[in-house]
Amino acid sequence: MNLVTIDRAYRVHIETFGCQMNEYDTELVRSLLKARGFTFTEDRERADVVLMNTCAIRENAHSKVYGHLAELKALKRQRHLVVGVLGCMAQNLKEELTETEPLVDVLAGPDSYRRLPDLLLQAIEVQEQGLKQRGMAVELSEYETYDDILPERTDGVNAWLAVMRGCDNFCSFCVVPYTRGRERSRDPQGIIRETEHLVAQGHKQVTLLGQNVNSYQFDAREGARLGAPGAGGCDWDFARLITAVADVPGIERVRFTSPHPKDFPPALLDAVAGHPKICKHIHLPLQSGNDRILDLMGRSYTRTEYLDLVDGIRKRNAEIALTTDIICGFCSETEEEFLDTYRVVQDVGFHAAYVFKYSERKHTIAARKYPDDVSEAIKSDRVVRIVDMQTGIAFRINQEMIGRTIATMVEGDAKRSSSQWKGRADNSLTVVWEKDGSRARPGDLVPITVSRASVTTLFGTEAPA
């Protein structure tokens, strides 16, 4: 491929949709583009290039992106503008996007970002010559982990750090294995070095990311045979990795998302429960509380196994907050089967539950094998019933925090007022308090005595240290 050289600093505006992995990927893309002389703007109107890093998980994720693309049409009529679609929708809907969206100049999937700078420069050149030609990079890779690329991070407190990419689980409803390809893990030594670098840059918290973060696996012996760095002659699993990251001097907090309930060996539970730097929060997606539906979903655990895992977590440390994801109205789900889910959510007492209507996705096993036969009205009704019940539970759990003093990491200004700080408790709850008289700075850990609590937020005052 021709390497096109840059003759002025083209301004790029990036919009990110979807999960934390996409936010991390946007940081990788910023790094790759910066290295080739691109600059960035928050203002879409001033951009030479607009990139959308997209999500494909549910239909409303698609709709959002189509909405933004429609807005760009008017802008593109007035002047030169290169439009790029990145991420999961680019990977999954390449044909559809190229047929129906003539304004898209560049498409790049999650494993193809190294090619993006050249594709953009070519698109700019082609457009300046008054021509039209689309650039596409949508190959999935079994190896790409962007190990050597240091993301251009914008958040000073938390740093996202992808430790593995892709997913081999093929849950029948889920598009991720098709948009992000096969599971692959990064070399642990590279991850530890990057954590040390993050500490040197002032980050206090690192969040380890993976579509299936706890199936992280790296065989250093194989690495040794391949001559890769980090050859230590032993195997690494997620328990070992997260402990090693949490042991890096200067790191105050380590979080991780998203784990799968099938990969929680005792060593991992012990690490989360016992290591002072690993946050006391586990996001444990349930999806359904009915065994027939779980089996149809391909989740590989039963209701009882899930509840046993919850018990195992709470026996080790009752302070660990649990959150979950639920899908309502999956193919053929009856009212009785839905009620099984309702009861599990009621019995476990999650700190928060993210509840979704089942949304059929192209290419998935469910789309090929099972009719999407629960009506929209029933799906919505089931979502509302769980959300209503969960709201009451979260409110009650949070009330129990009143009067306690909790270590809170300052993140920045509160959403509603810059005279208040917003921070996060160890268990991930949002905490808000008045700045008045506070000497705290983002990244600091401060003791907050809770005086009031809502469904999602704790309010309090800074206690004397």
Give the binding site for ligand SAH (CB under 6 A): 57-58, 173-174, 211-212, 258, 260, 285, 287, 325, 327, 356, 358-359, 361
Distance CA 385, CA 339 (A): 10
At position 333, the amino acid (one-letter code) is E
Q: Which residues are CB-contacts of 243 (< 8 A; sequence separation ≥ 6)?
A: 271, 275, 278
Q: Residue 88 touches which of ligand SF4, ligand SAH, ligand F3S, none (CB < 5 to 8 A by kind)?
A: ligand F3S
Distance CA 52, CA 84 (A): 6
Residues forming contacts to ligand F3S in the complex (CB under 6 A) are 18-19, 21-22, 55-57, 87-88, 175-176, 179-180, 211
% helix, strand, coil for the chain, step of 5 = 40, 20, 40
**Running DSSP on this structure, what letter comes out for residue 463?**
P
- Tell the smallest beta-carbon distance from residue 359 to ligand SAH (Å): 4
Q: Residue 177 touches which of ligand SAH, ligand F3S, ligand SF4, none (CB < 5 to 8 A by kind)?
A: ligand SF4
CA angle (268 as vertex; 265, 271 as ends), nearest 5: 150
- Tell the smallest beta-carbon distance from residue 340 to ligand F3S (Å): 26
| Residue number, 55 or 321, with CB nearest to ligand F3S | 55
- Tell the smallest beta-carbon distance from residue 405 to ligand SF4 (Å): 37
At position 128, the amino acid (one-letter code) is E
DSSP string of 68-87?
HHHHHHHHHHHS--EEEEEH
At position 11, the amino acid (one-letter code) is R
| Residue number, 325 or 444, with CB nearest to ligand SAH | 325
Distance CA 290, CA 155 (A): 40
Other C-beta atoms closer than 10 Å to the C-beta of 60 total: 11
Q: Which residues are CB-contacts of 438 (< 8 A; sequence separation ≥ 6)?
A: 421, 446, 462
Distance CA 210, CA 363 (A): 22
| Residue number, 57 or 85, with CB nearest to ligand F3S | 57
| Residue number, 165 or 361, with CB nearest to ligand SAH | 361
- Tell the smallest beta-carbon distance from residue 174 to ligand F3S (Å): 9
159 close to 207: Cβ distance less than 8 angstroms? yes
205 close to 157: Cβ distance less than 8 angstroms? yes
| Residue number, 118 or 144, with CB nearest to ligand SF4 | 144
Q: Residue 56 touches which of ligand SAH, ligand SF4, ligand F3S, none (CB < 5 to 8 A by kind)?
A: ligand F3S
Strand partners, 53: 16, 86
Tell me how far apart the 2 most distant CA atoms of the chain are, in Å. 67
CA angle (207 as vertex; 204, 212 as ends), nearest 5: 170
- Tell the smallest beta-carbon distance from residue 56 to ligand F3S (Å): 4
The phi and psi torsions of 220 (rounded to 5 degrees) equal -65, -25
- Tell the smallest beta-carbon distance from residue 18 to ligand F3S (Å): 3
CA 444, 448, 452, 458 dihedral sign is positive
- Tell the smallest beta-carbon distance from residue 341 to ligand SF4 (Å): 16
Kindly report whether the peptide bond that precedes residue 418 is cis, defined as omega within 30 degrees of 0: no
Q: Residue 170 touches which of ligand SAH, ligand F3S, ligand SF4, none (CB < 5 to 8 A by kind)?
A: ligand SF4
| Residue number, 212 or 408, with CB nearest to ligand SAH | 212
Helix/strand/coil for 451: strand
Q: Residue 361 touches which of ligand F3S, ligand SAH, ligand SF4, none (CB < 5 to 8 A by kind)?
A: ligand SAH
- Tell the smallest beta-carbon distance from residue 181 to ligand F3S (Å): 11
246 close to 192: Cβ distance less than 8 angstroms? no
**Running DSSP on this structure, what letter comes out for residue 416?**
S
Q: Residue 159 touches which of ligand SF4, ligand SAH, ligand F3S, none (CB < 5 to 8 A by kind)?
A: none
- Tell the smallest beta-carbon distance from residue 269 to ligand F3S (Å): 26
Burial of 159 (0-12, 13-18, 19+ CB in 10 A): buried
* Nearest residue (beta carbon) to ligand F3S: 18
- Tell the smallest beta-carbon distance from residue 153 to ligand SAH (Å): 22
Closest listed residue to residue 92, CA positions, set 300, 289, 362, 339: 362
| Residue number, 175 or 241, with CB nearest to ligand F3S | 175
Q: Residue 325 touches which of ligand SAH, ligand SF4, ligand F3S, none (CB < 5 to 8 A by kind)?
A: ligand SAH
| Residue number, 144 or 263, with CB nearest to ligand SF4 | 263
Residues forming contacts to ligand SF4 in the complex (CB under 6 A) are 167, 169-171, 174, 176-177, 211-212, 260
Q: Residue 432 touches which of ligand SF4, ligand F3S, ligand SAH, none (CB < 5 to 8 A by kind)?
A: none
- Tell the smallest beta-carbon distance from residue 372 to ligand SF4 (Å): 17
| Residue number, 362 or 396, with CB nearest to ligand SAH | 362
| Residue number, 87 or 443, with CB nearest to ligand F3S | 87
Q: Residue 87 touches which of ligand F3S, ligand SAH, ligand SF4, none (CB < 5 to 8 A by kind)?
A: ligand F3S
| Residue number, 30 or 165, with CB nearest to ligand SF4 | 165
